[in-house]
Structure 1
Amino acid sequence: MSTDTTRVTPVERAVRGWLNHLDVERGVSANTLASYRRDLARYTAYLGERGVSDPASVTEAHVSDFLATLREGSADHPPLAASSAARTLVAVRGFHRFLVLEGDTTQDPAGAVSPPRPPARLPKAISIEAVERLLAAASVGDTPASLRDRALLEVLYGAGARISEAVGLDVDDVDTAEGVVRLFGKGGKERVVPLGSYAAEALSAYLVRARPVLAAKGKGTPAIFLNQRGGRLSRQSAWTTLRAAADRAGLSGHLSPHTLRHSFATHLLDGGADVRVVQELLGHASVTTTQIYTMVTVQRLREVYAQSHPRAR
């Protein structure tokens, strides 16, 4: 912005007024003010290049084009990531909303401009071989806790269960003979999911040989997975179980209970499962949520193609 008061445009004057309002009346932090000042300096420069000097002359098209310029970059500025462009838009929208509230303008040209959506983050999944190493490492000896830990991780992967769903299971929710488990997802939505033979066998071994030992230490609970005091296993303890197994398996990187759920979905799709079936198994309300896993499999296909095809490079 210009420091010569004889050449300050109405837009620049309005920006100064808003920043002063944030500083004096709202008590915004110095760092936030500095960030807004930088963002709006770029905005006013953009408007000035297009001959717009009055806030009342700014249109929604100007704001949208400015946002596109942020994403595409220019000779003076590299392109911004979606999150950084969205932050800049917050400053622009706050500025124009202030002008309307103050009565300086009658319309808000930025109110209907949506921030850019960040790229979908691909779920983290580990290979089938890594899953097998992890599950094998869950069993240390033949203690009740060891049998419980193996059964817990088998259910997380074998049924694609959320950690809250797994630790929330009661004895009546599982039918190991039929190989199915009843899970209660978000909003209490119920679904019945196949367990698979490995998970069913691990659960049977735990229920017959280990759970009675743990239950004897408690006051009686229908929970399947019990802690050493006979009470329901907590989510925190389940996390600890997974981390310990991952360390023993020599698996580097950040693994969480959700990693097994992501791997469950990815491996099903890799094996040819229909996305709608995977949606039901995961308990997703919308297939759009499930479709992000197809991006993982496509990425894997690209990797295999690049490594294997003679004309890939």
Structure 2
Amino acid sequence: MVGIPGSAGLVLVAGVAHLNEESAVFEAMLTGWGRQQRSRLLGEKTISDRVRLVRRFTEFAESYPWSWGPGDVEDFTVSLASGDGRRSPSTIRGYHLGLRMFCDYLTDARYEWPRQCRDRFGSVPSQVCHEWNTVAHLNEYEGRPARRPLTYAELQDLFDHLDAQVERAASSGRKGALSALRDAQVFKTAYAFGLRRNELCRLDVADLRPNPHVPRWGTYGSVHVRYGKAVRGGTPRRRTVLAVPEFDWAIEGMRQWVEQARPLFGVPGHPALWVTERLSRVSLRHFDARFAAVRNQAGLDPVLSLHCLRHSYVTHLVEFGYPERFVQEQVGHAYASTTAIYASVSNDFKDKTLKAALARVYAPTDEEDQG
């Protein structure tokens, strides 16, 4: 038992008297849980977020895990779902899942915490999360209903506004011309390759690869994503996103950025694709703030976010007629149902599809033509 990662015997020293025994045991529990999760090769951020959640719940309940009850979870949920800072159902469900996993760890006899708590405090931890006091996963999608793809007209307005900003900055000789060009290419790349925000931010120059099907695109025919969304707290998933001919206009812009504009920042040894005047990688916060500013300046719907460009990519690939499996691989979804959630084809596309079907099914016969 003692040799199992996360067991009490590895984090509690026998025979040591603690000034605050309850606090010391609780800290040992968190340390042990962290070790157990690392043995499963979970990411450090996932582990730290879960530990932070347990600390937060402990402060809310004003008691330690061996004294928790289901009512504490219910009160915690009410606090999360109330007030101006209320959380979404998916976020609350994630909190419930984290607490459930921590309690599963504590109540597993292999880790010896039930015995330690019984001997020290006269009570043992229990599973306080059950089907009647936690959020059930009933819907495939619980994101904001307002989140949607951009229409073709909105995309055109967005990119026209970005290009106009670059031209104005360049013609006026202002210092921000390079940054404006970079930001324009950032958003075009997000759309043309369907990238998530973090995937976009973490791109390096070395991640730009050739597309074996189109040699004339050179090293700009595909993007190798190394920081894709992890599954259940695992390591980031990798994939290669191929450029498609409908978005080949983004390739020339990428070539201009990498070969002409980026060197002017004076960062020859920096790996990041998107760099700042301070010789650092551009942050996610900058991407979000810049997109919001450009969106508002262009007069677009305020509910649109940077992530909506990814929704647009999926939707437009579907409208272009790409197979479902190809779209799923391009965006790195484990399940086709997830890709389907992203797709929201336009009314024009629906009209054309319906007209084609009507013409195919109700095409006049030769006799009708003669009549």
Shared fold (TM-score, shorter chain, > 0.5): yes
Q: Give the counterpart letter for 2:223 in structure 1.
A: V
1:216-242 per-residue CA deviation (whole Å, 9 max, x = no partner) reads 2x5841101011212101011111221
Task: Say yes or no: does 1:232 pair with 2:232.
Answer: no
Q: Which moved more, 1:274-283 or 1:133-142?
A: 133-142
2:225 match: secondary structure: strand
Match of residue 338 from structure 2: 289
Question: Pairwise CA RMSD of aligned residues?
Answer: 4.0
Asked if the contact 1:154/1:198 (under 8 Å) is kept, the reply is: no
- Cα distance in 1 for residues equivalent to 2:258 and 2:152: 26
Match of residue 240 from structure 2: 192
- Cα distance in 2 for residues equivalent to 1:150 and 1:285: 30
Match of residue 13 from structure 1: none
Match of residue 207 from structure 2: 173
Q: Give the counterpart letter for 2:238 in structure 1.
A: E
Asked if the contact 1:137/1:246 (under 8 Å) is kept, the reply is: no
2:218 match: secondary structure: coil
Match of residue 62 from structure 1: none
Asked if the contact 1:138/1:146 (under 8 Å) is kept, the reply is: yes
TM score, norm. by length of structure 1? 0.57
Q: Give the counterpart letter for 2:251 in structure 1.
A: A
Task: Say yes or no: does 1:272 pair with 2:340.
Answer: no
- Cα distance in 2 for residues equivalent to 1:276 and 1:27: 41
* Alpha-carbon distance, 1:28 to partner: 7.7
Match of residue 128 from structure 1: 152
2:286 match: secondary structure: helix
1:163-199 per-residue CA deviation (whole Å, 9 max, x = no partner) reads 1111111111114525211112123322221233221
1:223 match: secondary structure: coil
* Alpha-carbon distance, 1:120 to partner: 3.3
Asked if the contact 1:219/1:230 (under 8 Å) is kept, the reply is: no
Match of residue 38 from structure 1: none
- Cα distance in 1 for residues equivalent to 2:338 and 2:76: 39
Match of residue 252 from structure 1: 301
Asked if the contact 1:138/1:153 (under 8 Å) is kept, the reply is: no
- Cα distance in 1 for residues equivalent to 2:197 and 2:73: 42
- Cα distance in 2 for residues equivalent to 1:194 and 1:132: 22
2:180 to 146, 152, 163: 146
Match of residue 47 from structure 1: none
Match of residue 255 from structure 2: 204
Equivalences, count: 211
1:138 match: secondary structure: helix
Distance 1:274 1:230, change over 3 A: same
1:8-43 per-residue CA deviation (whole Å, 9 max, x = no partner) reads xxxxxxxxxxxxxx99x969869959x9xxxxxxxx
Distance 1:117 1:151, change over 3 A: same
Match of residue 183 from structure 1: 225
Distance 1:247 1:114, change over 3 A: closer
Task: Say yes or no: does 1:243 pair with 2:292.
Answer: yes
Structure-to-structure mapping, 1:1-313, within 5 angstroms: 115=136, 117-118=138-139, 120-121=141-142, 124-139=148-163, 140=165, 141=167, 142=170, 143-175=177-209, 177-178=218-219, 179-184=221-226, 185-187=228-230, 188-195=236-243, 196-214=247-265, 216=266, 220-294=269-343, 296-297=344-345, 300=347
Distance 1:202 1:29, change over 3 A: same
Asked if the contact 1:170/1:222 (under 8 Å) is kept, the reply is: yes
Unaligned runs of at least 5 residues, structure 1: 1-21, 36-82, 91-108, 309-313
1:240-266 per-residue CA deviation (whole Å, 9 max, x = no partner) reads 221222123211222222100001001
* Alpha-carbon distance, 1:301 to partner: 7.5
Match of residue 103 from structure 1: none
* Alpha-carbon distance, 1:286 to partner: 1.5
Unaligned runs of at least 5 residues, structure 2: 1-67, 82-88, 97-129, 171-176, 210-216, 231-235, 356-371
